[in-house]
Structure 1
């Protein structure tokens, strides 16, 4: 059953009679600023290693996730400890010499070179939203979907 007050408020908003709250506009601008122009997005997939498409949380507080896009797979483990997040992962197939990986939060980006077998790590991130971006020389960046990690 639809709440009458909610329904009337939605109609007023749709008719343009209620302004968009300033915090909603500010949040939209902030999110837009997080985008990476021309990046391809790797979405979560279900696999035996991660057991679910949204990842699992083990007893030790780690989250295992797999993200896939045409040509690249990201296996990512996010571990929460002492109120901070550590991220470790692997990009397969090996994306090549000179590849950089950004581990991003809305307010912090840690950049690291990928190892010869596609591995990367970043430590000491604040809890909240996290995304991984792979920058391969000569290719468009590939970014995982944002996931929210809580302590």
Structure 2
């Protein structure tokens, strides 16, 4: 048997008469600001060459692949902060920019000749990398959560 109060609450929600709580709207706006328009999303890929090489205390290796590019990220946690050393392969053309993003901070780096970049001192939590190549759509990694 259905409880009348739950049934009426469900009808109000379906009819749109219950307002959306403020914290839910604020969280949705924050997430919308994190999107990269027209970006291709790179998905996690097996990193066979480094599987089992790193211990639990050492750097974590993460690989993402999309649109002919591979992102290899080495994530190190120390003193409560995150350091990211990465490489984009094949090495993109001059003028390529990489953004290492957290929900509250974005740090930009020009890629070195071999496609290398590094960012230090990030807060723990969610992390994504976006590659901006001249004349191409941006490619972003999925968001990953890094814990100390």
Bigger Cα Rg: 2
**Cα shift readout 1:76-118 (whole Å, capped 9, x = no counterpart):** 1111110110011111111111111111111111111111111
Match of residue 78, structure 1, among 75, 78, 92: 75
TM value normalised by structure 2: 0.85
Which residue of structure 1 lines up, in the alignment, with residue 34 of structure 2? 34
- What pairs with 1:1-151 in structure 2 (closer than 5 Å)? 8=6, 11=10, 13-49=13-49, 51=51, 58-151=55-148
Stretches of 4+ aligned residues off by more than 3 angstroms: 8-18, 49-52
**How much has 1:14 moved relative to structure 2?**
3.8
> What TM-score, normalized to structure 1?
0.83
Q: 1:136 to 1:22 in 2, by over 3 A?
A: same
Mapped contact 2:87–2:116 kept (Cα < 8 A): yes
Whole-angstrom CA distance in 2 between matches of 1:103 and 1:58: 24
Give the secondary-structure state (helix, strand or coil) at the position aligned to 1:77: strand
Query: In the comparison of the two structures, how many residue pairs are matched?
Result: 143
| Separation of aligned partners in 1, 2:57 and 2:51 | 16
The runs of 5 or more residues in structure 2 that have no matched partner are none
Cα deviation, residue 15, structure 1: 4.7
Give the Å deviation of 1:58. Answer: 3.7
